[in-house]
Amino acid sequence: MRAWEEFLQAQVKELGSEAIEKWAKTLKVVFFDAGNLYLEAQDSFQVNWFEEHLRPKVRQFFRNNNQRLIKVHVSLANAPKAKKIWKPVLNLSPDSLDPGCRLETYFPGATNLTSFSLLKESLEKPAYNPIYLHGPSGTGKSHLLMASSFYLTAQKKQCFYVTASTLTNHIVAAMRTGGMQALRELYRKHDVLLVDDVHQLSHRSATQEELFHTFNTLHVAGKQIILASDSLPSLLEGIEPRLTSRFEWGLVLPFQPLNSQEQKEFFNKRAEEKKLELPQEIEGFLLGSLTSVKSLQSALETIHLRKGKNQITVPLLQKWIEPLLEDQKRKALTPEKIIQAAAEIFEIQSADILGRSQNQECSLPRQVAMYLCRLMLKMPYLKIAAAFSRDHSTVMTSVKSVDKKIGEHDNVMLSTINSIKSKLKS
């Protein structure tokens, strides 16, 4: 389990590599899913070591890709089988909701105010089905799905919230245990189905097949479907067109990263909620070092949990948020990376994209790279023009040209865009 390996690696600095190798990495992984990890210890000494040294950290920092805590179960290898902790044969529980994720606690800023207002109106007076939220990581889509679930539950609606990963786990488990009928009855009996991270269904044919039929059943019955993903339906990679076309049937709402001023407003609001009085230099360090609302939220949570009686200094805080800084650096996207990825997909050189040639072999990759800089980095036309040594009007024309082809569902263009985005994620 990758999340477990990464968690243990993060503990090396504090506990030492020798202790981690001897006591932690020798714990046998028996079973895991999105919310649970089952471990088997060699003896009671190893169990006691885990409870003393790792259990407190697990409760605070061991999270899945959706930043939800993973519960760890530890049993003895030589314990009687009847006493071992095992996962039920078929568990179709929804994902847990964060009680702090409410419509009133979401911070849209001016950037996302229109989309947020339309979402609230659609929940109050249902007129669109499905509702599809899309945007980069850290724009609050999961927050809004959970908030929608809380809001609709208060309206006496039965809601079922899952991530795409959990949906897949449910379907795989149901297939293995002969429980497909039970799964279908469960997913289709609720008034509202909410599925997060839809892009993670890429190339999962069995899950897509089941979702397709569930979608149709719910839609015909007039039951609400709310989805979230990192991109437009037309740009989803590895997902069948019959599904992506259905995602476009209703209301498609874009969400974008907040600008620097909005991030500062968000930071101050969240710090005030947690009753954290932070020195100006600490606030400046965090706002200057972390580039997303998601990272700022995690940093504030870390400070809230670890502050105690510590006098917070920049060096101490830098140590606390080092994993966030490293993760941010690893994921940082630049125009240069986009140009390089486009060049590799089109099998030319980056210099050809940046050069003056106007032949199709170079101009098309150039247009696509400009479009992706606009789409993925939200760069102003003038900055894109500077990066490509072009006039801003040329950039505008190029972006509109690619955008038009996507709007016309040009399969070659869609496939090319998806290939470049996949390369950038790898």
pLDDT tens for each residue of 190-243: 999 999 999 999 888 889 999 999 999 999 999 999 999 988 998 888 899 999
pLDDT of residue 247: 96
Average pLDDT, the chain: 88
Burial category of 226 from C-beta neighbours within 10 Å (exposed 0-12, middle 13-18, buried 19 and up): buried
- Residue 308 or 3, more confident: 3
Question: Are 137 and 292 within 8 A, CB to CB?
Answer: yes
Percent of the chain with pLDDT over 90: 47
pLDDT of residue 81: 52
| Residue 219, both tokens | 């839609």
**Alpha helix locations (H) across 190-275?**
205-220, 241-247, 260-273
Q: Does position 258 have pLDDT exceeding 70, yes or no?
A: yes
Q: Which is nearest to 152 in space by CA: 189, 117, 192, 101?
A: 192
| Residue 139, both tokens | 């724009």
pLDDT of residue 365: 95
Average pLDDT over residues 268-280: 85
CA 63 to centroid of chain Cα atoms: 13
The residues that bridge with 40 in the sheet, in sequence order, are 28, 75
Type of residue found at 403: D
Locus of tokens 């990464």: 6
d(CA 266, CA 258): 9
pLDDT of residue 85: 46
What is the pLDDT confidence band of residue 346, given thresholds at 50, 70 and 90? very high
| Residue 82, both tokens | 């009847």
pLDDT of residue 88: 44
| Residue 245, both tokens | 């076309």
Q: Does position 87 have pLDDT exceeding 50, yes or no?
A: no
Q: Does position 426 have pLDDT exceeding 80, yes or no?
A: no
| Residue 193, both tokens | 């189905």
pLDDT of residue 248: 95
The residues that bridge with 76 in the sheet, in sequence order, are 41
SS3 call for 204: coil
pLDDT digits (tens, 9 = 90+) for 136-168: 888 999 999 999 999 999 999 999 999 999 999
What is the pLDDT confidence band of residue 132, given thresholds at 50, 70 and 90? very high
Query: Which residues, in sequence order, are CB contacts of 172 under 8 Å at separation 6+?
Result: 206
pLDDT of residue 86: 46
d(CA 143, CA 162): 13
Query: Which residues, in sequence order, are CB contacts of 67 under 8 Å at separation 6+?
Result: 294, 298
Type of residue found at 301: E
d(CA 324, CA 177): 40
d(CA 146, CA 362): 45
Type of residue found at 340: Q
Q: What is the number of alpha carbons within 13 Å of residue 203 lying toward its C-beta?
A: 2
Question: Are 217 and 182 within 8 A, CB to CB?
Answer: no
**Alpha helix locations (H) across 274-313?**
280-289, 293-306
Average pLDDT over residues 352-379: 92
Locus of tokens 């920049």: 314
pLDDT of residue 197: 94
Average pLDDT over residues 332-360: 91
d(CA 112, CA 103): 13
Average pLDDT over residues 291-314: 82
pLDDT of residue 82: 46
Q: How far apart are the first and last CA of the chain?
A: 19
pLDDT digits (tens, 9 = 90+) for 31-85: 877 678 889 998 888 888 898 889 888 888 888 766 778 889 988 887 665 444 4
